Amino acid sequence: MFVAKVTGSLVSTQKTDSLVGHKLLVVEPYRLESDQRQSLVSTGRTFIAVDALGAGEGDFVLITQGSSARMTPETQEAPVDTVIVGIVDQVRVDQHSVYSRGEE
């Protein structure tokens, strides 16, 4: 799994039946900034994830990929390889906080 920031959304009216009704969000994976190691920075990559938790723009979320993305009640048997499995409250590295929800 990895941490990503929700930065947008995607609309697709013409899609595979089993995707109808799923909210599709733009998520950008983040990694630890490697010099100071005190914050998270974007990796510059962009994925589309299914959201089953009501995540909103600006939220940091926990992403699961691959076949395991089908292991949530909402995504079972669906052609989905990226899903939001948690909304992140805090990430701590080297014993200090590098992300805390609502404190950016």
Minimum Å gap between C-beta 23 and a second copy is 13
Lay out the site mask for a second copy across 34-73 (x = CB under 8 A, - = otherwise): x-----x-x-xxxxxxx-xx---x----x-xxxxxxxxxx
23 touches a second copy by CB under 8 A = no
37 burial (CB, 10 Å; 0-12 / 13-18 / 19+) is exposed
Please state, in angstroms and rounded to a whole number, the distance separating the CA atoms of residues 6 and 25. 7
Beta carbons of 65 and 15 less than 8 angstroms apart: no
**Candidate list 23, 51, 79, 102; residue touching a second copy; CB under 8 A:** 79
**Candidate list 21, 36, 38, 86; residue touching a second copy; CB under 8 A:** 86
**Candidate list 38, 56, 82, 102; residue touching a second copy; CB under 8 A:** 82
Helix (H) or strand (E) holding 53: none
